[in-house]
Amino acid sequence: MPAMFYEMPYAVLYTVFFVAGFGRGHLTYSIAKYFTEHAVLGRQANHRWVQAIQGWLQSPRLASGTTMLHRYGLIAVPACYLTIGLQTVVLAAAGVIGMPRLKFALAQLPGVAVWAAIYSTIGWAAWEAMITQAATSWIGIAVLVALLSVVVMLVIQRRLKQAAASNRSRIHPTDPAGNTHQQQ
C-alpha cells in the first residue's frame, strides 16, 4: 500500500476503498450496459477498441456471469465482490441483461462494504506480501516468468485461431441459413 495510506485514519482508508470499489463496479456495469444498448440499436463499431468490448460482451466468459445472475438472482452482485475472477464478469453481465441502475447500485452496497473492509485491513497487505515475496526470491521470479510465458502463448494461440477462422470464413462463406458455399 502506498505510504500515504498507512498514515490515514482507518475510516478514511475504508472510505477510499469503498468509493473505489463502488465506482469500479458501477463503471463496469455502465460500460457493459452502454455497449449492449449500442449493439442492440445496430450501431456500427467504428473503432477497434469498441469492437473488442462488444466481442467480450458476447464471449462465453461473460455468459457465465449472466448464467450466475439468472440462477442466483440479485444476490450474485454482492457475492461477486468476495470472488477473484468473477467480479468483472458478474458486474458486466448485470449491465448486459439491463438490470435497473438503482437496483444494481443497491445490490452492490453490501458486497462493496465487505470488499472495502477486507482491502482496508488484511487484503491489501496480503497482496503486497505476495508480490514482495515473489519479486525477491528466485522461485517467485521463475513462477512469474512462467506465468507470463503461459499468458503470452495463450494470447498468441488465440490470435492464430481467430486468424485461421477468419480465413476459413472468407474462403467458405455461409448464407443466413448456415449453408456453406464454395466460391467460384
Other Cβ atoms within 10 Å of 104 Cβ, number: 20
Residue pointed to by grid coordinates 458455399: 181
pLDDT 10s digits, 146-159: 888 988 888 888 88
pLDDT, position 48: 76
Amino acid in the structure at residue 23: G
Q: Where are the domains of the chain?
A: 3-134, 137-184
**Helices and strands (H, E) in the chain, number of each type:** 9, 0
Mean pLDDT of 53-69: 80
C-alpha 22 chain-centroid distance: 15
Mean pLDDT of 82-101: 89
- 42-51, 85-94, 97-106, 149-158: least confidently modelled range: 42-51
Integer Cα distance of 130 and 75 in angstroms: 30
In the chain, % of residues over pLDDT 70: 84
* The pTM of the whole model exceeds 0.85: no
Average pLDDT value for the chain: 82
pLDDT at 86 over 90: no
Task: Give the CB-side neighbour count of residue 19, counting CA atoms within 13 A.
Answer: 6
> Poorest-confidence range of 15-19, 48-52, 143-147?
48-52
Q: How large is the C-alpha radius of gyration of the chain?
A: 21
Query: Which of the residue ranges 8-17, 130-139, 141-150 has the most confident prediction, judged by mean pLDDT?
Result: 8-17
Q: What is the mean pLDDT of residues 92-120?
A: 93
**Cross-strand bridge partners of residue 180:** 174
Q: Is the pLDDT of residue 76 over 80?
A: yes
Q: How confident is the model at residue 25 (pLDDT cuts 50, 70, 90)?
A: very high
